[in-house]
Amino acid sequence: MSGGVDSSAAAALLLKQGFDVVGITLKLWPQDCVSRAEDKCCGSQAVMDARAVCHKLGIPHYLIDESAEFQSGVIRYFAAEYKAGRTPNPCIMCNQVLKFGRLIERANQFGAQYVATGHFARLDRSADGARTLLKRGRDLRKDQSYFLFSLRQDQLARAMFPVGEKTKTDTREVARHCQLKTAEKKESMEICFVPDNDYGKFLRQAKLVEKHRGEIVNVNGQVLGYHEGIEFYTIGQRKGLGISSPAPLYVVELDAARNRVVVGDDAALDVDEFMVSRCNWIQFDQPPPVLEVVAKIRYNHPGVGATVTPLPGGRAKVFTHAHVRAVTPGQAAVFYHDDLVIGGGWITRLSP
């Protein structure tokens, strides 16, 4: 329970369905986390809100310290990806490592069969009953299946998403009906441990990266200026480059090996093929030789038709049926058939 309305409504819905519910809030912030926010899911206000909801529902509430695991499995991953010239997705990693990793271990200690969260996603069974399938949430505007693509079969089998069939409005109505204090609580779109959305400031203040001067070059290798660290740039960025040009320039590549930020015009952001690694296939153990899917290259991407060719070693080539803009190494590419999540992988580079 994060202290938000969705997990609060999830607990209330499970109670109504007759489940024996225990509220768990994970203490994720390290004591020296310089960007701790009191109203985020890793802040003390969120803990108090979750506890108040549990008290109102008449269920036990436990605060479990997982700050060490969060530091090693999420925050250090977050910094390492930026250092490598990639843009991380800490929410996916938190789901994989903590909410359906460590929390399942805790559930075992409580004798609990399932771990339920407030994600807008749905689960189903394969026709032969052998696999647990992941589907988009009914409310497509709030669908969070993208953030769950990396969950393994053993993790999905222990998961429950009680609000997956609901809309956001429905969850607020559930919370209002139960007179929960989170009913009107605003939701945040920021990374929970970066409350002002300035990830560069967080990385510097937490001493996870240091400034290091390098070149800003165009796609032909011509030096246009200098930067203080590739960690402070992302693919598609236009503002804050510190260089002048008669036409708009965008970050099109982050070259960690040469400590270079590569910029180009708008057309240089458009690609129709890229590679993914560490693929997780939800629908099957071994994928077929070719897959026709809709691919989402970031959470708020609408999706594009694509042909996926799985390769040895958990890799795959992705050929999109139309150009896509600002494909970003480090982000996830998640593959769908209608509402069904086929699987996905982590974008590694923009050409085979």
Determine what percent of the chain is predicted with pLDDT higher than 90. 85
Q: From residue 273, give the alpha-carbon distance in Å to each of 261, 266, 301, 317.
A: 21, 17, 16, 7
Q: 5-177 has which fold?
A: Rossmann fold (3.40.50)
SS3 state at 251: strand
Confidence of residue 38 (pLDDT cuts 50, 70, 90): very low
Please give the positions annotated as active site.
94, 192
Same fold? 5-177, 211-264: no
Q: Do the Cβ atoms of 10 and 99 come closer than 8 Å?
A: no
pLDDT digits (tens, 9 = 90+) for 182-215: 999 888 777 888 877 888 888 998 889 999 999 9
Alpha carbon distance 141, 25 (integer Å):
26
**Model pTM score:** 0.93
Model pLDDT, residue 313: 96
Alpha carbon distance 26, 11 (integer Å):
16
Model pLDDT, residue 281: 98
Model pLDDT, residue 190: 72
Per-residue pLDDT for 37 more than 50?
Answer: no
- Is 87 exposed, middle or buried (CB count within 10 Å of its CB: 0-12, 13-18, 19+)? buried
The arrangement of secondary structure in 269-349, i.e. its CATH architecture, is: Beta Barrel (2.40)
Q: Do the Cβ atoms of 255 and 217 come closer than 8 Å?
A: no
Alpha carbon distance 250, 22 (integer Å):
48
Contacts of 90 (CB under 8 A, 6+ apart): 74, 75, 77, 78, 191, 193
Q: What number does CATH give the domain 211-264? A: 2.30.30.280
Q: What is the mean pLDDT of residues 52-77?
A: 94
Residue spans of the domains in the chain: they are 5-177, 211-264, 269-349
| Paired residues of 339 in beta bridges | none
